[in-house]
């Protein structure tokens, strides 16, 4: 089985980058940079460059993918189809949506020490922390919205969500 694709989104695709991270894919979203710089980064780091810029996509040749829509749901459907993305299982919600680092499980005591409010610590049993930026996540209301959107994306492909509830959601 080939390794999961690793993405580099240009500065026009911030929401897509965040959602690819929710899906568990290694996705970088750098600050605005010139086309030469982002192409070099994609080549040097062996990443697929996702862009809405036709000229940049052409210059990227085999490294790039032109994202045809500016509508997030359509972007997700396009990338899912183009790269046969897995929308279920243990990979879901395993990355920090802010910085792309892999999340680590923490207990409620550590979550409380990290600043999670006591009512949330008391209400939830699972927490995850980003070792990169320190963001703490738990399966709150935002998690439910994310899983719902993933379910909608899968239903569009005739699939059902599997593994829902096994990994963290974005900070509730």
- pLDDT, position 128: 97
Roughly what angle, to the nearest 10 degrees, separates helices 14-22 and 141-155? 90
- pLDDT, position 11: 93
Q: CA separation (Å) from 4 to 7, 84, 146?
A: 10, 10, 21
Q: What is the pTM of this model?
A: 0.86
Rounded Cα–Cα distance for residues 12 and 135 (Å): 24
- pLDDT, position 2: 57
Radius of gyration of the chain (CA): 17
Q: Angle at the Cα of 29 (from 20 to 55), degrees rounded to 5?
A: 100
Q: Name the stretches of the chain with pLDDT < 70.
A: 1-2, 157-172
Sheet of 48-51: strands edge to edge?
27-28, 7-9, 48-51, 64-66
**Spans of all domains in the chain:** 7-83, 88-172
List alpha helices for the chain, DSSP H.
14-22, 35-44, 54-60, 72-83, 108-113, 118-123, 141-155
- pLDDT, position 164: 35
Alpha carbons within 13 angstroms on the beta-carbon side of residue 135 total 19
Q: Would you say 146 and 93 are in contact if contact means Cβ atoms under 8 Å apart?
A: yes
Closest CA to 107 of 130, 128, 76: 128
- pLDDT, position 163: 36
The strand pairing partners of 51, in sequence order, are 66
Q: Would you say 8 and 50 are in contact if contact means Cβ atoms under 8 Å apart?
A: yes
Rounded Cα–Cα distance for residues 123 and 156 (Å): 33
Q: How far apart are the first and last CA of the chain?
A: 34
């Amino acid at each position: 089985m080939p390794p999961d694709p690793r993405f580099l989104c240009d500065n026009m695709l911030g929401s897509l980058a965040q959602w690819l991270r929710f899906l568990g894919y290694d996705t970088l979203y750098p600050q605005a940079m010139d086309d030469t710089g982002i192409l070099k980064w994609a080549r040097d780091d062996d990443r697929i460059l996702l862009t809405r810029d036709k000229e940049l996509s052409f210059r990227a040749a085999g490294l790039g993918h032109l994202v045809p829509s500016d509508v997030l749901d359509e972007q997700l459907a396009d990338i899912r189809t183009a790269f046969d993305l897995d929308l279920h299982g243990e990979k879901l919600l395993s990355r920090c949506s802010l910085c792309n680092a892999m999340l680590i499980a923490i207990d409620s005591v550590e979550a409380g020490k990290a600043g999670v409010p006591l009512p949330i610590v008391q209400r939830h049993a699972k927490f995850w922390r980003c070792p990169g930026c320190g963001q703490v996540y738990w399966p709150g209301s935002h998690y439910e919205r994310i899983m719902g959107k993933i379910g909608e994306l899968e239903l569009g492909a005739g699939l059902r969500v599997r593994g829902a509830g096994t990994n963290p959601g974005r900070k509730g």
